Amino acid sequence: MNVPGIVQSTLDGEEIAARVSLGGEDELFITPTRTLVYRSEGLLSDESVNEYSHDADRLTLSEGRRKTKFTLEYALEGTQEFSVPSSKTDEALHPVIAGILNGNEITEPGETVVQTYRFSELTLLITSERLVKHIGGAVWDEDYEEYAFEDVTNLSFEDGSVATQIVLSVDGRPQRIKAPNDEANDLRERLQRALFEYHDVESLAELNETVGEDDSDDDTGTSDASMDFGDGVDPLDANPPELTDHDDGERERDPSRSQTQQDHSTDPLGQQADTRSAESQPGRDEMQSQSQSQSASHSRSTASDSAHTDTVSEQSSAAAPETDSGIADTDPIFDETDEAAGEDEFSSAAGSGVGASSGVGATGDTPSAGTDPEVLDRLDTLEAALEEQNELIEQQQRTIEQLITELRQGR
């Protein structure tokens, strides 16, 4: 692909290490020392190129639904920002952070960044010579950790139901890194491949055998050591004092204890139960007498209510025949003569309405379609205006689509 002239003039002889398309003609150009963001000419801006140095102290991402903002913080220049489409975030981050590692002299000349991983607040970067880890809200800052491949002494993996744990031992000290299972396989393969190439081996077992520490000298002389308590330890006494002597001593110190035990032994349980039963008998007799009194009072009340109910029922039944007879004889709801008159009225009115309606329809006169030339001219004018409006709407639609495209490109 051809490099735009405005970008070519900004390079100043530097080579382009990577380039990422941001949609349309917009692109991201990465050099060893800078990131160049090229914007083509559009509705919102003219053709331009902005550059961002790689010697930043901190890199932070702010991801939105449509675009992601890259924020670079510098010790002297302050803060600089640029945006890319959200779909291009990972594709743009990898070369940018690789340039930052090179600009801060974390990676050496000729060292390449193999892959970048982001797991929530954990960022991992695999290079051809080391593993760089950063934990925090920022993607990268000065609080990073690095593990050189030349110091690795063991590599193993512990599979889990949700995450896989990578155990990387550096100088004999294990470093544990958790990665979600959906990306753990890719991370495992790339990390193993980078270590295999660095140590020139072909399998994980061969790698651990090659880089593993020799612990044979550390255990010399420890296997023959035995535990020795010395000669001055007396054997334990196998005949402890008799228990009877101990009990006699306790009784002498606390004579009331033995007296209490005797009292309990001479007090039969049956006598205590009889005493409690006798004491509680009067209370039960009193409760039974109260219950009988309440039952008698309730029976009298029920009999009185029943007598009152029977009296009311007799009075209602005696008055009912007279009431029904009065209603049937003196207050008829419908009268036969009135009903017949109403039907005659309705029939005559309906007949009159039908006659009027049929009379209107019998003429057969209907308005005829207009053939005025003035009306035809007005229709032609309206059709021409409608076609013009449709063309304007289509043009506006194309403009709106172009604006949306430029906004999604991070402009």
The helix (H) or strand (E) run that includes residue 100 is helix 89-103
Instruction: Give backbone dihedrals phi and psi of 406, rounded to 5 degrees, phi first.
Output: -70, -35
CB 94 within 8 A of CB 115: yes
Mean per-residue pLDDT, 141-154:
94
Tell me the pairing of strands 58-63 and 113-119: unpaired
Q: Tokens at residue 186, please?
A: 């890719």
Burial 367-376 (b: 16+ CB within 10 A, else e): eeeeeeeeee
Q: Mind listing the pLDDT tens digit for each residue in 310-351? A: 443 444 444 444 434 343 344 444 444 444 444 444 444 444
d(CA 237, CA 201): 65
d(CA 144, CA 133): 6
CB 57 within 8 A of CB 80: no
Say which amino acid occupies 231.
Answer: D
Over pLDDT 90: what percentage of the chain? 45
Q: Tokens at residue 72, please?
A: 């670079």
Q: Mind listing the pLDDT tens digit for each residue in 252-306? A: 455 454 444 444 444 444 444 344 444 444 444 444 445 444 544 444 444 444 4
**Inter-axis angle of helices 255-266 and 243-253, to 10 degrees?**
100
Q: What is the pLDDT of residue 373?
A: 84
The single residue listed with the structure tokens 């061969």 is: 206
The single residue listed with the structure tokens 């409690």 is: 276
- In this predicted model, which residue has the larger pLDDT, 238 or 50? 50
SS3 of residue 72 by DSSP = strand
Tell me the pairing of strands 58-63 and 48-53: unpaired
Q: End-to-end alpha-carbon separation of the chain, Å?
A: 22
CB 162 within 8 A of CB 181: yes
CB 152 within 8 A of CB 209: no
Lowest mean pLDDT among 142-146, 177-181, 355-359: 355-359
pLDDT higher than threshold 90 for residue 73? yes
* Cα atoms found within 13 Å of the Cα of residue 56, Cβ hemisphere only: 26
The helix (H) or strand (E) run that includes residue 352 is helix 336-362
Nearest to 70 by CA among 78, 62, 24: 62
Q: Mind listing the pLDDT tens digit for each residue in 87-132? A: 999 999 999 999 999 999 999 988 999 999 999 899 999 999 999 9
* Cα atoms found within 13 Å of the Cα of residue 104, Cβ hemisphere only: 18
Nearest to 138 by CA among 65, 79, 183, 52: 79
Tell me the pairing of strands 34-39 and 26-30: antiparallel
Mean per-residue pLDDT, 32-53:
90
